[in-house]
Amino acid sequence: MQHRYIAIMAGGIGSRFWPASTAEKPKQFLDILGVGKSLLRMTYERAVQLVDADHILVMTNKRYKNLVSEQIPEIPIEHILCEPSMNNTAPAIAYTALKLSVKDPEAIFAVLPSDHVILKEAEYLRLLNLAFEGAAARNVLMTLGIEPVRPDTGYGYIQYTHKQGHSDMYKVQSFKEKPDALTATAYLESGDYLWNAGMFVWSVSSILSAFDQYAPEIVQVLAAEMSCFNTDQEQDYIDRVYPLTQNISIDYAILEQADNVFTIPADIGWSDLGTWNSLHAYLAHSDEPVIIGDKVYTDNCKNIIIMSNNNKQVVIKDLDDYIVIDEDHALLIYPKSKEQEIKQVVNRLEV
């Protein structure tokens, strides 16, 4: 247990949740569910049930260091890993692995996104413990795969082998990109696929060995001066070398190539809350409007989500299948069926 760590990934901008999520304060730092806690804080409170607070790290962009510290004051400040550039998940995980390898060569660490909702917490904790045990016993890269409940086109999929016998852990055959609707339906009906939720567990030796084999240039850049890790020189060093790493996800860099990836199917009441549609699906119990805010009046509206937390009175009539988000700095009114466009719109607006 003393060699277990958890790294929470909290560096994304969450542009698909604009205008509530902004570059200054992305969605992981917001109380998006209206429960009095941010998604990041909720992730930490689950993590601290598995490891001590001083074994939790947060990977984030340099600009969010103070936000992380404010929301999770329990963790050591040196455990907030500040990326000077947004180079995707592979360099962030390599940085974490190298830092931990200097601190504890026997470290095993989980990588957990900061913006997911888990309803079945006890089962989630049980399965992560299983993943830690598997990663400690063997040279494997473990992932929790979510048992799909619908043919969703918004997630990547994990194809796995499970027809022979019974086990908690199964060998991954391949990773699949986000499919079209027909392919997603075929995946669901086959029973051979899980959603890729981006939750991983591995030893530092296993993941660094995988980097050496499949993406050596990333580790070569970051490991040039290993003596800087866990010292006062670490941030200056990372500021200098991290932007030189390849901008690539851990899926492309490692997982799609490695032959020692295993998955644990997980039924944990999971939602990634990646879009307004997913938040609507999470909160909706019928076709009645989902309303977040106190000053919203609707008449003959259905299948809509409305968020308005300012002092403005909002009145909406005869609206169907829309997203309405009213913030002080911006107003979004967009068809739910076209919400995948929001990210591109935000990029064009440069907000």
**Residue 255 tokens, joined:** 């997982």
pLDDT surpassing 90 at residue 152? no
- Residue 351 pLDDT exceeds 70: no
Number of C-beta neighbours around residue 130 at 10 A: 17
206: its two tokens: 């296993």
How far apart are the C-alpha atoms of 287 and 192, rounded to whole Å?
Answer: 32
Ramachandran bin of 269, using left for φ above 0, alpha for ψ from -120 to 50, beta for the remaining angles: left
Confidence grade of residue 165 (pLDDT, cut at 50, 70, 90): low
- Summarize pLDDT for 281-330 with one digit per residue, the tens: 888 989 999 998 889 999 999 999 999 988 899 999 999 999 999 999 89
pLDDT in tens, 329-347: 899 999 999 998 998 898 8
- Average of pLDDT values for 81-92? 96
- Whether the CB-CB separation of 347 and 15 falls below 8 Å is answered with yes
- Give per-residue pLDDT as tens, 187-238: 999 999 999 999 999 999 999 999 999 999 999 999 999 999 999 999 999 9
User: Which runs of E-coded beta strand occur in the chain?
Assistant: 4-9, 56-61, 80-83, 108-113, 117-118, 141-146, 157-160, 170-176, 193-203, 261-266, 270-271, 290-292, 296-299, 305-308, 314-317, 322-326, 331-335
How many angstroms separate the CA atoms of 157 and 196, rounded?
Answer: 5
Q: Supply the mean pLDDT for the chain.
A: 93
157 beta partners: 176, 195
User: Domain map of the chain by residue range?
Assistant: 4-274, 284-349
Q: Whole-model pTM above 0.85? A: yes
* CATH number of this structure's domain 4-274, picked from the four choices 3.20.20.70, 3.20.20.140, 3.30.230.10, 3.90.550.10: 3.90.550.10
